[in-house]
Amino acid sequence: MRTIDLGLTPYRDALTTQHELRDQRRADAVPDTLLIVEHPAVYTRGRRSEPGELPYGAEWYAERGIEIVDVDRGGKITYHGPGQLVIYPICKISNVGDFVCRLERAIVTALAAEGISARGRSTEGIEYTGAWVENRKIGSIGLHVSHGVTTHGLSVNVDCDLEPFSWVVACGLDTPVTSIAQETGAADLSRFRERLVTALATELTPRSTPVP
């Protein structure tokens, strides 16, 4: 499994890169790939989003420097910003439900290494997909699958501003949001990135290791 770290990258630029990699993966020109990024502040609205999820209107959010982008992934609205780790797996899959569970397990494993007890909840209903610390959401998952290849992926709040989550109905749920920093008092994004990439490589391609 290959990894590509784009660092802090505007959302639309990363989306273009995803699409390029998806087309290459379909043609077997590249192996399964983890695209690793942070984004400037942006709300993305998935296929199940509803108008009421942005209660203040686009202009209000623009004044606060937050872009709004409609995307073809599953799920509803979510927030991305600096200090949040985002990983887009560009992978060939045959079972979406199994793939989502593997992503959840990888997040839970990486969080456990940070001393955080979390759980995946996709089996409780599509609206609960992701990683949770008690009733607080710490990681989100939203995918699009085309011709058996995934785009979009997962995000974990490491050490980011959580206030923008309160300005929308994040993921369609009125529930608390948390981060590694909030749960433990400190967070190291580089360390967690390494832990999560290793956990994903283990879950998605057993006996493999991530290759730069």
Q: Is 118 left (phi over 0), alpha (psi -120 to 50) or beta?
A: beta
**Which amino acid type is present at position 121?**
R
> Cβ atoms within 10 A of the Cβ of 168, count?
23
CA distances 145 to 13, 62, 90, 97, Å, are 19, 30, 10, 12
Catalytic (active site) residue 171:
yes
Catalytic residue among 91, 101, 160, 171: 171
Which positions are catalytic?
171
